[in-house]
């Protein structure tokens, strides 16, 4: 009798809060994070931030015998390839062995999205950026990162995988609400429309494709942009996700928890995997006391222009673990 060993896979989405280097990028408005800029950003703070991000990602793996480094990490608000090279090869993450893929977007500040992957558990075959054409009078925004690859399951000589291990991943950082929610909504709907078109194209070739979408959508679950994805048989697996130490969302503003970060799985993949959990990663060292409203909030790197040495990000990571 043949035995099937299920593989455990961990997928993380994490907005890093302005992970910039200290050098000026030509044609980009990144001066606030250059030497002499408003944030007084410098090499010491930069490397401390990189190590804090690395510490946060490693801590997601858990403790003891169940510890497992995340297989895929969708990173939001990273500046460029140099930052990702430093993060994966020169920070606390350097011994983990992560590789990465990153966009090169027309965003005015130079903000991009990226995907860290562990080569022992995921092998990318194809990747490219999806450009978003801004509505009239809107600023350029971040590209969508698309990656198609294969999950490398834990198999032995007498096991057979009965379903496809091909995975289509989209990493998103939709336009912010700066300027007003209503005024900027068409921009986020354009992002959702491009995602929907890409999903349709994949399913035209592979109707039961395994599709993941993760990122900071700058919208909530009941907004039209996210409902559009649901209409394309994408299920928000992060809906209602909470932390184990009090977090009720991935960020907190004026005492209210909320989630602009989301994860979607295709219904076809959900039907063929077992989701162990989807939760917000809120270990105590990632949060700080909220003096005005009570409780805790994410310990961010900057509050206004005030630097926080013990800060990590203004968002907490989303984590999903499943077996397939």
For the cut 80, the answer to whether the pLDDT of residue 66 exceeds it is no
Which pLDDT value is given to residue 18? Answer: 97
What is the distance, to the nearest Å, from the Cα of residue 153 to the centroid of all Cα atoms in its chain? 22
pLDDT band at 155 (very low <50, low <70, confident <90, very high): very low
pLDDT band at 5 (very low <50, low <70, confident <90, very high): low
Which pLDDT value is given to residue 67? Answer: 73
Which pLDDT value is given to residue 64? Answer: 54
pLDDT tens, 192-214? 999 999 999 999 999 999 999 99
For the cut 60, the answer to whether the pLDDT of residue 160 exceeds it is no
pLDDT band at 163 (very low <50, low <70, confident <90, very high): very low
Bridge partners, residue 230, by sequence = none
pLDDT band at 183 (very low <50, low <70, confident <90, very high): confident
Which pLDDT value is given to residue 161? Answer: 43
pLDDT tens, 262-280? 999 999 999 989 999 999 9
For the cut 90, the answer to whether the pLDDT of residue 41 exceeds it is yes
Task: Quote the tokens at residue 207.
Answer: 């109707």
* Category of 300 on φ-ψ map: left (φ > 0), alpha (ψ -120 to 50) or beta: beta
pLDDT tens, 136-146? 777 899 999 99
How many whole angstroms separate alpha carbon 74 and alpha carbon 86?
17
Q: Residue 38: how many CB atoms within 10 A of its CB?
A: 11
Question: Beta-strand (E) ranges in 91-203?
Answer: 99-102, 112-117, 122-130, 144-151, 166-173
Of all helices (H) and strands (E), which one includes residue 258?
Answer: strand 256-258
Which pLDDT value is given to residue 26? Answer: 86
β-pairing, 287-289 with 296-298?
Answer: antiparallel
């Amino acid at each position: 009798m043949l035995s099937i060993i299920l593989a455990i896979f961990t997928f993380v989405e994490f907005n890093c809060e302005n992970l910039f280097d200290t050098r000026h990028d030509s044609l980009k408005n990144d001066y606030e994070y250059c030497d002499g800029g408003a944030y007084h950003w410098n090499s010491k703070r930069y490397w401390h931030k990189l190590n804090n991000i690395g510490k946060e990602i490693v801590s997601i793996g858990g403790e003891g015998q169940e510890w497992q480094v995340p297989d895929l990490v969708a990173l939001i608000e990273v500046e460029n390839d140099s930052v990702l090279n430093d993060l994966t090869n020169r920070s606390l993450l350097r011994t983990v062995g992560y590789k990465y893929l990153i966009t090169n977007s027309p965003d005015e500040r130079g903000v991009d999205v990226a995907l860290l992957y562990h080569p022992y558990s995921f092998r990318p075959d194809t990747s490219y950026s999806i450009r978003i054409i801004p509505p009239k009078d809107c600023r350029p925004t971040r590209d969508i990162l698309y990656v198609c690859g294969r999950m490398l399951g834990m198999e032995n000589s007498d096991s057979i995988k009965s379903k496809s291990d091909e995975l289509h991943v989209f990493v998103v950082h939709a336009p912010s609400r700066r300027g007003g929610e209503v005024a900027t909504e068409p921009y986020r709907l354009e992002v959702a429309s491009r995602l929907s078109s890409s999903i349709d194209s994949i399913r035209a070739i592979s109707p039961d494709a395994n599709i993941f979408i993760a990122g900071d959508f700058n919208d909530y679950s009941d907004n039209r942009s996210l409902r559009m994805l649901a209409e394309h048989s994408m299920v928000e697996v992060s809906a209602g996700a909470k932390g184990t130490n009090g977090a009720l969302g991935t960020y907190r503003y004026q005492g209210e928890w909320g989630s602009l970060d989301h994860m979607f799985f295709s219904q076809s993949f959900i039907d063929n995997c077992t989701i162990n959990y989807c939760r917000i990663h809120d270990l105590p060292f990632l949060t700080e006391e909220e003096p005005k409203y009570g409780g805790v909030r994410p310990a961010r790197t900057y509050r206004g222009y005030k630097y926080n040495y013990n800060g990590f990000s203004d968002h907490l990571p989303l984590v999903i673990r499943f077996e397939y």
